[in-house]
Amino acid sequence: MREVSVNLVTDQVKKMCQEANFKLSRDIKNALVDYSEKEESPIGKGILFDIIKNADIAESNDVPMCQDTGMIVAFVDLGQEVVLKDGLLTDAINEGIRQGYEEGFLRKSVVKDPLERVNTKDNTPGVIHYNLVEGDEIKITIAPKGFGSENMSRMKMLKPSDGIQGVKDFVIETVSLAGPNPCPPIVVGVGIGGTIEKAALIAKESLMRDINSSHPDKHISDLEVELLESINKLGIGPQGLGGITTAIGVNVETYPTHIAGLPVVVNINCHATRHVSCII
Amino acid sequence: MKKNISLPLTQEKVKDLHAGDQVLLSGIIYTGRDAAHKRLVEAVKNDDVPFELKDAVIYYVGPAPSKPGAAIGSCGPTTSYRMDDLTLPLLENGLTGMIGKGQRNQTVINGMKKHGAVYFAAIGGAGALIASSVVSSEVIAYDDLGTEAVRRLQVKDFPCVVVIDSYGVNMYDEERKKYERV
């Protein structure tokens, strides 16, 4: 067994909240540069250059790339041989969010009650997912989620007979309806299978993967490639002002499901797809 | 190639703007998003709107807190459709410009044609870049709303694109068709 103080977690979460908001990850930045060379629309090209310029300003000045610094989604892989001390892990993560947002001049975008809508003023609580794993380490991923793109996400309980074509149609329909709203170019996360909440969770998890990575199963990695090509034929383009760069990545995750069902969730991210991980 | 527009946005200037025009705005704009719009619509009824609506431009934004010495934090546009149901009363009272991102509904577009108004898009997700065109920022109403308070921004060469003009031409629809490969 290994003892870990939750205070270490607070410190790491605080740093990651800031880093995720200030620094565009390399896979995304490289993709934006590649697409800016390929983009056919002159306005679209200009927008991609501006988005890259924006990332450079944010990173060099330690300011957020976007004013919507998101609601924090945290994935925690907790090794079963870890013994936590000095408090509750959930409290420690929320304390890290609180300190990270206050000290990093990040926007507080969380309301306490979805109907009464009073701001909690410290961006807590986060949405925290725990997963028990082997070993004596803790892996934490922090992903600030903006709602311009979250609002464009959709779910559908397809019939088994709808099959892969049903999945494709639903993903394309979702991106098409979203149009300019989620700040394209977007990254699309798709969860297929499980139950209603499992499909949503794996869709979100898929967005934590490098956008150049492929699903290990060939029929799913082929689906990722095909969806990306189809999305970029929609014409939406950067910011919806026309072009061939509507998405820069599609990641799909699957899970076993029931004989009667084919749940699908499409979770849309803006280009920034902010996420940072650490291992304690 | 880019048009320089000095604010306020008079009817004469509105008529001269067309979908697809890339513009640089200079002058005063006001911020307001979801919660502020709810109050502004009430304020119109009670005749206590906290700024002159005639020829005004509203920017749909909730800025990040400003660091010491900075005029404003990152301040890109938020998605506009959430303001659609709260926009008509403002257009009826003289609002001539809105800055946001994403589609508007037909009610808003009809209101823009009838009353003479323009919808601009700024680059969503480019908040750090956009902040460099804000010279000063001051909360003028609804301070309790925090980031959603109404601010008066002095802007210089604020970059945006006319997406829907006062004639109802919608650049989102027109440009998408050009690049669609079915």
Which pTM was predicted?
0.94
Q: Chain B: nearest CA to A117, how far in angstroms?
A: 9
Q: Which of B177, B142, B128, B123 is nearest to B35 (CA)?
A: B142
Residue A52 placed within a domain: no
Whether residue A185 is predicted with pLDDT greater than 90 in this model: the reply is yes
In chain A, % of residues over pLDDT 90:
100
List the structure tokens of A180.
């300019």
- CA–CA gap between residue A17 and residue A33 (Å, rounded): 25
Residue A159 placed within a domain: yes
At A33, the pLDDT band (50, 70, 90 cuts) reads: very high
Please indicate, yes or no, whether residues A129 and A239 belong to a single structural domain of this protein.
Answer: no
Report the pLDDT value the prediction gives residue A206, as an integer from 0 to 100.
Answer: 98
Residue A27 placed within a domain: no
Please indicate, yes or no, whether residues A159 and A244 belong to a single structural domain of this protein.
Answer: yes
A145, A167, A193 — which closes off a domain?
A145
Q: What are the distances in angstroms from CA B98 to CA A153, A176, B53, B118, B164?
A: 25, 24, 12, 7, 10
Report the pLDDT value the prediction gives residue A142, as an integer from 0 to 100.
Answer: 98
Q: Are A71 and A101 in contact (CB under 8 A)?
A: no
How many domains does chain A fold into? Answer: 2
Please indicate, yes or no, whether residues A216 and A105 belong to a single structural domain of this protein.
Answer: no
Please indicate, yes or no, whether residues A103 and A208 belong to a single structural domain of this protein.
Answer: no
Q: What is the mean pLDDT of residues A18-35?
A: 97
DSSP string, B117-167: -EEEE--TT-HHHHHTTEEEEEEEE-GGGGGGSEEEEEEEEEEEEEEE-TT
DSSP state of A134: S
At A222, the pLDDT band (50, 70, 90 cuts) reads: very high
pLDDT digits (tens, 9 = 90+) for B106-150: 999 999 999 999 999 999 999 999 999 999 999 999 999 999 999
A117, A145, A173 — which closes off a domain?
A145
Q: What is the mean pLDDT of residues A218-224?
A: 98
Report the pLDDT value the prediction gives residue A193, as an integer from 0 to 100.
Answer: 98
Q: Which of B37, B36, B39, B40 is nearest to B52 (CA)?
A: B40
In chain A, % of residues over pLDDT 70:
100
What average pLDDT does the structure give for chain A?
97
* Count of beta carbons in the 10 Å neighbourhood of residue A170: 21
At B52, the pLDDT band (50, 70, 90 cuts) reads: very high
Cβ neighbours of A182 in B, within 8 Å: 79
What ipTM was assigned to the predicted interfaces of this complex? 0.92
Q: Which of B96, B145, B85, B144 is nearest to B120 (CA)?
A: B96
A145, A163, A197 — which closes off a domain?
A145
Please indicate, yes or no, whether residues A141 and A6 belong to a single structural domain of this protein.
Answer: yes
Residue A69 placed within a domain: yes
Q: Are A19 and A276 in contact (CB under 8 A)?
A: yes
Residue A34 placed within a domain: no
Catalytically active residues of B are 37
Most A CBs within 10 Å, among B38, B61, B79, to test the A interface:
B79
Q: Which of B65, B102, B103 sits opposite A107 (nearest CB)?
A: B65
Please indicate, yes or no, whether residues A140 and A156 belong to a single structural domain of this protein.
Answer: no
Cβ neighbours of A169 in B, within 8 Å: none
Q: Which of B70, B161, B177 sits opposite A241 (nearest CB)?
A: B161
Residue A39 placed within a domain: no
* Domain ranges for chain B: 3-179
B3-179: in CATH 3.20.130.10: yes
Residue A37 placed within a domain: no
Please indicate, yes or no, whether residues A204 and A155 belong to a single structural domain of this protein.
Answer: yes
Please indicate, yes or no, whether residues A110 and A226 belong to a single structural domain of this protein.
Answer: no
Report the pLDDT value the prediction gives residue B182, as an integer from 0 to 100.
Answer: 77
At A51, the pLDDT band (50, 70, 90 cuts) reads: very high
∠ CA B40-B159-B106, rounded to 5°: 50
List the structure tokens of A269.
């991210």
pLDDT digits (tens, 9 = 90+) for A118-171: 999 999 999 999 999 999 999 999 999 999 999 999 999 999 999 999 999 999
Cβ neighbours of A179 in B, within 8 Å: 102-103, 172, 176
Please indicate, yes or no, whether residues A141 and A209 belong to a single structural domain of this protein.
Answer: no
Residue A194 placed within a domain: yes
pLDDT digits (tens, 9 = 90+) for A57-90: 999 999 999 999 999 999 999 999 999 999 999 9
Please indicate, yes or no, whether residues A126 and A9 belong to a single structural domain of this protein.
Answer: yes
Owning domain of residue A241: 148-273
pLDDT digits (tens, 9 = 90+) for B141-173: 999 999 999 999 999 999 999 999 999 999 999
Please indicate, yes or no, whether residues A156 and A233 belong to a single structural domain of this protein.
Answer: yes
- CA–CA gap between residue A211 and residue A158 (Å, rounded): 26
At B1, the pLDDT band (50, 70, 90 cuts) reads: confident
Q: Chain A: nearest CA to B179, how far in angstroms?
A: 4
